[in-house]
Amino acid sequence: MNKIAVVGSGYVGLVAAACFAELGYSVTCVDNDLAKLECLRRGEIPIHEKFLPELVARHSGTRLQFSDSLAEAVRSSTVIFIAVGTPSKDNGEADLSYVESVAREIARSINGYKVIIEKSTVPVYTSEWIRRVMLLTTRTECEFDVVSNPEFLREGTAVTDFLYPDRIVVGVNSERAAAVLRDIYSPLTTGAYYMSAQRVPEPDRATIPPQLILTSAKSAELIKHASNAFLAMKISFINAVASICEEVGADIEQVARGIGSDSRIGPQFLRAGIGYGGSCFPKDVSAFRAVSRQCGYDFKLLEDVMQINEEQRRRFLQKIRTALWTLKGKKIGVLGLAFKGGTDDIRESPAIALVQGLVSEGVQITAYDPAAMKRARELFNGSIHFAENAYAVAAGADALLILTDWDEFASLDLKHLHELLEYPIILDGRNLYTPEEMERHGFMYISIGRKVLPLKQLADVPAQ
């Protein structure tokens, strides 16, 4: 059976390593952060990801090993996945220096045929550059293939996305490498894993078994960036439509339901809100735009996607100003700091951007997030306060903001919230409630793409 090395223990690398171990492989997860490796060996998981702690605990020390020696991992493995970071440069291009560094070290340690697999999100031509760098580094004949195998993992559901994927895309330029990847993913494509009594529970509407799509390496690299750009476009599109709904008095939830019922479109990613964020969409849209420019194509649509996303945050900030008149000295409660529910990731989070904007205008913020407060404390460094739950956030606040779509924020005791708030004002950036529900409880309620329930209506609301 093929032994696997996974280079990088971030969101993609750690999930991939744990899931390959779950599929029965001997896996070495490599990282140069010694403190992080010690935490992982103790079973301390640095990211909030459902099922990941259980998989690491189940396989650590047996099928799953953690190491700081890339050379040793390369020599003992046939398949090496590169899952290191590819952050954005100032010009929007992906910084591939970490990928290049890993490729050079792999080349120095080759001791037989290896399959080197891009798992990081990288622009087209990266597989060719990895091959070129490795050949220049070894300066000798060596047997290896470079494969593109993009990940399509959503933070918060990454484990089930890996084990129950919609599709597995493999970009190969040789039949030898294709055979290796078919074998690696055979527990999924044959359905064998799904017969296991200890398997991770399947999500709703899982595709079993998933299809394996074989393409060229360049096509696979483009599939990843194009997929994320398209999903970001759907989010920006529905947010743009929400702005029109606000002007004409339509309801974006009704409009989105009508659009999403079309089988050619589908309902996914048609949720109006305060915009997309996270480690993927902003970076990948920007990188795809940079790639298109390098190829001589002006992909203006991507510019519009990014502009609408930024504008959505500015529009919500203006909603807050309109609701409260002046901001300086106001006390505002914030529910949610992660870029979406189910994760502790605050990278490019629209919630974080909004809180930073409010702090800069002299607002006193008290915030709560079920998973992201540790990261947020490090970021804000004492400039905002944190509470232990949603109700503590609301106590004495001039308004309450809902900025992340955690399930628990959609089922709050509204009567209790009304009693706790200094003024009964809620601005819902995720449309977790309906205007009718908020009207029954006596709130001034402002959401995205729907009617505003103003304070002037509250006098006629019966006491709860």
Catalytic residues: 280
Phi, psi of 375 (to 5 degrees): -65, -40
Cα separations in angstroms, 26 against 5, 67, 165, 449, 456: 9, 13, 21, 50, 65
Q: In what order do the strands lie in the sheet with 425-428?
A: 385-386, 364-368, 331-335, 399-402, 425-428, 444-446
- 438 close to 419: Cβ distance less than 8 angstroms: no
Q: What are the strands, taking DSSP E only, across 114-185? A: 114-118, 144-148, 167-171
- DSSP characters for 167-192? EEEEE-SSHHHHHHHHHHTHHHHTS-
Distance CA 389, CA 408 (A): 10
Phi, psi of 143 (to 5 degrees): -95, 120
Q: In this structure, what token pair is assigned to residue 374?
A: 């540790």
Distance CA 464, CA 88 (A): 51
CA distance from start to end of the chain: 65
Element spanning 134, H or E = helix 126-138
Cα separations in angstroms, 198 against 16, 55, 57, 181, 202: 18, 11, 14, 24, 11
Neighbours of 423 (CB within 10 A): 16
Q: What is the CA radius of gyration of the chain?
A: 24
Degrees, nearest 5: CA angle 83-86-90: 175
Q: How many CA atoms lie within 13 A of 111 on its CB side?
A: 8
